[in-house]
Amino acid sequence: MRNWILPENISDVLPREARQIEAMRRGILDLFGRYGYELVMPPLVEYVESLFVNDDPALDLKTFKLVDELTGRQMGLRADITPQVARIDAHILNRQGVTRLCYTGSVVNTRPDGILSTREPRQIGAELYGCADIAADVEVIELMFESLALAGLGQVRLDIGHIGLFHALADAAGLNGEARDEVFLALQQKDLPTLRSATARLDPAIAQGLTALPTLYGNVDVIGRARASLPALPAVVAALDALAQLGDALAARGIAIRFDLAEVRSSDYHTGLVFAAYAPGFANAVARGGRYDSVGEKFGRSRPATGFSLDLREMTRLPFPAAKPAILAPAGEAPGLLAAIRALRAAGETVVVDLGVDPAEAGCDRRLVGGQGDWRVEALA
Amino acid sequence: MITIALSKGRIFEETLPLLAAAGVVPAEAPESSRKLIIGTNRDDVRLIIVRASDVPTYVQYGAADLGVAGRDVLIEHGGAGLYQPLDLEIAKCRLMVAVQNGFDYQGAVQQGARLRVATKYTDQAREHFAAKGVHVDLIKLYGSMELAPLVGLADAIVDLVSTGGTLKANDLVAVEHIRDISSRLIVNQAALKLKEEQIQPMIDAFAGAIGH
């Protein structure tokens, strides 16, 4: 039996990737800190009831479950940290004003998002609670851009959508259950043929609006086209106003965006604006986020909320500088040796004591030589 | 560079006029050249030739930006990561239930007994019979489904029927229509966002050619 084989879509993080992930993690957490986001560390496992917000069958399916032997209740391994942080804001911190929280950690998925995706993404993200204004979304998106730039993704394409559009139209049409799911899925896939047949028996204005959504993507004139082709329901108008306002605010910060009004894809808990960043060479979005204003309700306190997250492991596909070469030092307690090693390490050098290492494997390009209290560094042949 | 995934045969032949409408003419015919990557008259467009059932996979992972795939294949694949903006109305056929001539299908279905069904399209067969409230044992086959009822491997088959010639030649009759099948244009989601300037005109040209 090959007992060292790991399960499907589960892998070790080896030195090169680990170094990159750790450097990005530190850089991004420091960035969050400079914006006033406080780090929290929710648990790996908790009762399933608090892991899912609202009815989230997709997240439920993605969550590994086990039975708590202390209580007999069902626990889940977190598949997404965002609901945990919402729980902390709503029920644990109980602050009245705006709360900014950030987090990082592994999440585990029962099924990979795609054949090539890991089942153990390393999620990092930031969430802003207590502010319903567009300014909160702008800050979160700005932070997402800076995080991606830190990871080495300077060129990304930002797509913005609004889930409220679909819900407003579906509510107006009285779509429920399977019919609503079918339209939702068709929108997700910009599947116009299915969308046409699924909406054929609805009110013509609503049906026209739903079938127009997949064609409403592109630059800022999408908003104008949307106002012309979507029925002027109050929720629709509000959503379009929010999108236009967000577009202006981001343009003022030099962030170029695209609108995709059929973007209904993020997690089931999203309720309003949703956004996703795409980058050349990545077949999926590299970062995602959006508004989930009603999430705290389940935890006893509904608060406006917006945030984003990304998977650090995905980012290891970006180039990353090699580790700084190390210095090989002899083992033992020769006079002056320990002090010389300590001084080099204090100066930021990596010093590897020779306990039988292969200098190339250990990444050494120099060595510490000398004796009798006189030590110097020379190049390794 | 835009990469379009196509399968040999009917889909390739019937996609040619649509490609022409988008100003794309393949440099070679896949049947004669045996090459898997085929250049076109446009430097920025190439075709890759893959198995029909692999087209959604190539597009989902961004190995191809666009592709043409039958609805049968797309439903089995699930469509994750894909946009499917156009029904190209090519390579049309029907997904049907067929049994050996003389087999009492209605009786077998009503009896409440389990039906043995051989098919390549397990997801669609499972869903079809579940909606009817019929329990089935599915036998996954990769080809020559028509043989299964004749040799006692299955009571019925779920397969694509275009002219019905193969069924007839093997003494089978179609007893139930599951859905009409035609081919869709599929697009990688990230590609549409990142290469919109190149891909959108192509979608528009295809749409124009089929009269949408």
Give me the mean pLDDT over the B14-21 stretch.
94
Instruction: Tell if the CB–CB gap between A283 and B188 is shorter than 8 Å.
Output: yes
State mean pLDDT over B74-87.
91
Shared-domain flag, residues B40 and B14: yes
* Contact residues, chain A, for B199 at CB < 8 Å: none
Yes or no, beta carbons of B85 and A192 under 8 Å apart = yes
Q: Rounded mean pLDDT of A56-69?
A: 91
- Confidence band for A149, pLDDT divided at 50, 70 and 90: very high
Count of structural domains, chain B: 2
Per-residue pLDDT, averaged over B70-96, amounts to 92
Q: Which residues contact B33 (CB under 8 A, 6 or more apart)?
A: none
Domain of residue B194 covers 2-92+181-209
Residues 6+ apart with CB under 8 A from A207: A173, A199, A200
The CA radius of gyration of chain B, in Å to the nearest whole number, is 19
pLDDT exceeds 90 at position A85: yes
Q: Taking 90 as the threshold, does the pLDDT of residue A94 lie above it?
A: no
Whole-angstrom distance, CA of residue A35 vs CA of residue A37: 6
| Interface size, chain A vs chain B, as Cβ–Cβ contacts under 8 Å | 53
Question: Does residue B191 share a domain with residue B149?
Answer: no
Share the mean pLDDT of chain B: 92
- How many residues are given for chain A? 381
Pairing of strands A157-162, A326-329: unpaired
Query: Same domain, yes or no, for B12 and B77?
Result: yes
Residues whose CB is less than 8 angstroms from the CB of residue A265 and which lie 6 or more positions away in sequence, other chains included: A188, A274, A276
pLDDT band of residue A170 (cuts 50, 70, 90) is: very high
Residue B18 shares a structural domain with residue B88: yes
> Where does residue A161 fall: left (phi above 0), alpha (psi -120 to 50 degrees), or beta otherwise?
beta
Residues 6+ apart with CB under 8 A from B102: none
Structure confidence at residue B32 (pLDDT): 84
Give the pLDDT confidence score for residue A265 in this predicted structure: 66
For chain A, give the percent of residues with pLDDT over 90: 68
SS3 category, A276: strand
Backbone angles phi, psi at A232, to 5 degrees: -80, 55
**Cβ–Cβ of A114/B85 closer than 8 Å?**
no
Helix axes B10-21, B196-209, angle to 10 degrees: 110
Which of A189, A214, A258 lies at the smallest CB-CB distance from B82? A189
Chain-centroid distance of CA A181 in Å reads: 25
Quick one: closest CA in A to B65, which residue? Answer: A283
Residues B156 and B145 in one domain: yes
Confidence category of residue A7, pLDDT binned at 50, 70, 90? very high
Q: How far apart are CA B86 and CA B199, in angstroms?
A: 13
Query: Is B46 in contact with B39 (CB distance < 8 Å)?
Result: yes
Mean pLDDT for chain A overall: 91
Does residue A1 register a pLDDT over 80?
no
The residues pairing with B185 across neighbouring beta strands, listed in sequence order, are B68, B86
Judging by DSSP bridges, how do beta strands A74-77 and A45-47 pair with one another? antiparallel
Residue A381: the pLDDT is: 73
Indicate if B119 and B174 belong to the same structural domain.
yes
CB-hemisphere CA count at 13 Å for A109?
21
- Percent of chain B exceeding pLDDT 70 equals 99
* Contact with chain A for residue B164, Cβ under 8 A: no
Neighboring chain B residues of A114 at a CB cutoff of 8 Å: 60-61, 80-81
- CB within 8 Å: B184 and A193: yes
Select from A270, A292, B141, A172 the least CA-distant residue to B156: B141
CB contact under 8 A, B193 and A283: no
Other C-beta atoms closer than 10 Å to the C-beta of B164 total 14
- Over 90: is that where the pLDDT of A121 sits? yes
A258 with B196: Cβ contact below 8 A: yes
DSSP for B108-156 reads: HHHTTPPEEEEES-HHHHHHHHHHHT--EEEEE-SS-TTHHHHTTS-SE
The pLDDT of B67-83, averaged and rounded, is 92
The residue with tokens 């043409």 is B68
B128 touches chain A (CB under 8 A): no
Biggest CA pair distance of chain A: 93
Mean pLDDT of A165-172: 93
Q: Identify residues of A whose CB sits under 8 angstroms from chain B CBs.
A: 114-116, 157, 159, 185, 189-193, 214, 217-218, 258, 260, 278-280, 282-285
Task: Assign A64 to helix, strand or coil.
Answer: coil
CA distance readout (Å), A381 to A324, A359, B101, B102: 17, 10, 83, 85
B137 plus B203 within the same structural domain: no
B57 interaction partners in chain A (CB closer than 8 Å): 115
Contact B184 A218 (CB under 8 A): no
* C-alpha angle B45-B49-B54 in degrees, rounded to nearest 5: 115
Residues A248-300 have pLDDT tens digits of 999 998 888 899 998 876 567 888 999 999 998 888 889 999 998 877 777 77
Q: Please check whether residues B65 and B97 belong to one and the same domain.
A: no
What average pLDDT does range B180-202 have in this prediction? 93
- The residue-averaged pLDDT of A124-130 equals 96
Whether B146 and B156 have beta carbons less than 8 Å apart is answered as no
From the list A284, A287, A246, A288, the residue with the least C-alpha distance to A266 is A288
Amino acid sitting at position B83 = Y
Q: What is the pLDDT of residue A266?
A: 59
Per DSSP, helices labelled H in A199-277 are: 204-212, 221-229, 234-252
Distance of CA A108 to the CA centre of its chain: 14
Using the beta-carbon criterion (under 8 Å), do B61 and A192 form an inter-chain contact?
A: no
- Paired with A75 in beta bridges are A47, A66
Asked if A189 and B79 touch (Cβ cutoff 8 Å), the reply is: yes
**Torsions phi, psi for A103 (to 5 deg):** -160, 160
Mean pLDDT for the stretch of residues B36-41: 94
Co-location of B17 and B86 in the same domain: yes
Average pLDDT over residues A125-145: 95
Q: Tell me the C-alpha distance between A144 and A140, whole Å.
A: 6
Considering the domain architecture, whether residues B18 and B72 belong to the same structural domain is answered as yes
For residue A258, what are the β-bridge partners? A159
pLDDT digits (tens, 9 = 90+) for B155-169: 999 999 999 899 999
CA distances A312 to A154, A279, A316, Å, are: 16, 14, 7
ipTM: 0.81
Chain A partners within 8 Å of B60 (Cβ): 114, 283
Q: Quick one: pLDDT at residue A267? A: 66
**Torsion angle in degrees (nearest 10) through CA of A131, A137, A138, A139:** 70
* Rounded Cα gap, residues B12 and B29, in angstroms: 9
Which chain A residue has its CA at the smallest distance from B61's CA? A283
> B174 and B100 share a domain?
yes
pLDDT for A139 beyond 70: yes
Kindly list the residues from chain B whose CB atom is less than 8 angstroms away from the CB atom of residue A284: 81, 189-190
Q: Is B88 on the interface with A (CB under 8 A)?
A: no
Residues 6+ apart with CB under 8 A from B68: B4, B5, B6, B7, B11, B15, B55, B88, B90, B183, B184, B185, B186
Q: Average pLDDT, stretch A298-313?
A: 89
Q: Which chain B residues touch A217 with a CB distance below 8 Å?
A: 196
Q: Tell me the three state secondary structure of residue A6.
A: coil
How much of chain A is in helix, strand and coil states, percent to nearest 5? 40, 20, 40
Nearest residue to B203 (alpha-carbon basis) of B7, B79, B21, B5: B21
The C-alpha of A219 sits at a distance from chain B's nearest C-alpha, in angstroms, of: 11
Concatenated DSSP letters of A285-327: -SEEEEE-TTGGGGGT----EEEEEEETTGGGGS--PPPPPEE
Q: According to the model, what pLDDT value does residue B80 have?
A: 83
What pLDDT band is residue B48 in, cutting at 50, 70 and 90? Answer: very high
Q: Are residues B187 and B83 in the same domain?
A: yes
Which residues in chain B touch residue A189, judged by CB atoms under 8 angstroms apart?
Answer: 79, 82-84
What would the two tokens of residue B97 be?
Answer: 């239930």
**CATH number, position B122:** 3.40.190.10
Nearest to A88 by CA among A104, A101, A69: A101
